[in-house]
Amino acid sequence: MSAVDPAVPRVEPYQPGFWRQNQRRLAPWLFLAPGMLMFLVYVIIPIFQSIWISFYDWDGLGEAIWIGIGNYVELLDDEAFYTSIYNNILWLLLYLLAIPAGLAIAIFLNQTVFGIRLVKSLFFFPFVISQVVVGLMFSWFYAPEFGLFYQLSEVLTGKGIAILADENLATFGIIAAGLWPQIAYCMILYLTGLNNINPEQIEAARMDGAKGWSMLWRIVVPQLRPATFIALVVTVIGALRSFDLVSIMTDGGPYGATRVLSFYMYEQALSEYGYRMGYGAAIATVLFIIMMVFISFFVVRLVTRERSG
């Protein structure tokens, strides 16, 4: 870009009037104003408000009482909070499987046979569907007694597994449901990446005798780095944001075993047992801080990449 530096005004004798002279300096702010205003009101300011609320005891209606770090102290003794964090870590780690799985499917589909375009779109399908629908589909797939998964496990182990009713397994069942659309997303990123790989390098490597794993690992994967980066960003953020599937499939149960921070926050802030806004805000703040670690890493990389060209 070679925009004129507004710090050095050009001498333009034929442009009288304030607007004419300053047009280029003011224009960006006028263009930004409506979008920025909305974004400030609905996104940026609420972040600080939430952090502020987390220092209060507040039911959402009555008077808010300042209790300092009281909510955070309470969190330290809250069993459900630890369950939620533990499950968030599980989500994060297992969700990362979407990246290699997506790459594998992309490689499998990166061919030119009849109808492959349709096949690729159909593989991408799960991502387009609402997570509510995905959650219902998997609940039905896992349903005790008649569900396909239950019957399959009955055949394999002699005893049917009602995965969503099992405290120790339910979270895995939900994560598997979440992986379905997430793999589809990573797959499409890698398909685009594979499409843009430099064919000469592949051919040259092939002449040098590279094939199979060494070709994949040394030649292809390095060229897919931009796709891998985006896949990593969307997968990490997706894992930590998980809410819909937990709410749809188990509603946090059985016995709160499938709670994650986002869900637990919602439960505390707006549950039928009374509104605990301050406590909810404290949980949200913890989740926000965890995510901020990743977000700042991602954004710094994104911005430096922008700057370098």
Partner 1 sequence: MFPTPIAKVSAPVRIAYKVLLPVALIIWLLPLLGVAMTSMRPGSDLTAGNYFGIPSRFAGIENYTAVFRDSPIGWYILNSFKITIPTVVGAILLSCLTGFALAIYRFRANIIVFFLFVAGNFVPFQILMIPVRDLSLRAGVYDTALGLILFHVAFQTGFCTLFMRNFISSLPFALVESARVEGVSEWKIFRHVVIPLMRPAIAALAVLVFTFVWNDYFWATVLAQGQNTMPVTAGLYSLNGQWIAAWQLVSAGSIVAALPPVLMFFLMQRHFIAGLTLGATKG
**Whether the Cβ atoms of residue 236 and residue 92 lie closer than 8 Å to each other:** yes
Given the rule CB under 8 A, which of 67-75, 78-86, 137-145, 162-170 is the region that contacts partner 1? 137-145
23 binds partner 1 (CB under 8 A): yes
Given the rule CB under 8 A, which of 62-70, 76-84, 124-132, 166-174 is the region that contacts partner 1? 124-132
Given the rule CB under 8 A, which of 65-73, 74-82, 164-172, 226-234 is the region that contacts partner 1? 226-234
Closest to 178 measured CA to CA, from 114, 280, 95: 95
Which 172-191 residues touch partner 1, going by CB under 8 A?
Answer: 180, 185, 188-189
66 binds partner 1 (CB under 8 A): no
Task: Return the residue matching tokens 């349709």.
Answer: 118
42 binds partner 1 (CB under 8 A): yes
Given the rule CB under 8 A, which of 79-87, 94-102, 156-164, 217-225 is the region that contacts partner 1? 217-225
Which 86-115 residues touch partner 1, going by CB under 8 A?
Answer: 107-108, 110-113
Q: Is the CB of 53 or the CB of 257 nearer to partner 1?
A: 53
What is the nearest approach in angstroms of partner 1 to the Cβ of residue 159? Answer: 19
Task: Return the residue matching tokens 């920025």.
Answer: 36
Given the rule CB under 8 A, which of 36-44, 78-86, 94-102, 154-162 is the region that contacts partner 1? 36-44
132 binds partner 1 (CB under 8 A): yes
Which 255-284 residues touch partner 1, going by CB under 8 A?
Answer: 261-262, 265-266, 269-270, 277, 280-281, 283-284
Number of residues that bind partner 1 (CB under 8 A): 116
209 binds partner 1 (CB under 8 A): no
Q: Binding residue for partner 1 (CB under 8 A) from 83, 84, 131, 250?
A: 131
Q: Is the CB of 23 or the CB of 93 nearer to partner 1?
A: 23
287 binds partner 1 (CB under 8 A): yes
What is the nearest approach in angstroms of partner 1 to the Cβ of residue 227? Answer: 4
73 binds partner 1 (CB under 8 A): no
Q: Using alpha carbons, list the distances in angstroms from residue 208 to 12, 141, 200, 201.
A: 62, 48, 12, 11
Given the rule CB under 8 A, which of 64-72, 74-82, 129-137, 155-163 is the region that contacts partner 1? 129-137
Closest to 246 measured CA to CA, from 166, 185, 178, 180: 178
152 binds partner 1 (CB under 8 A): no
193 binds partner 1 (CB under 8 A): yes
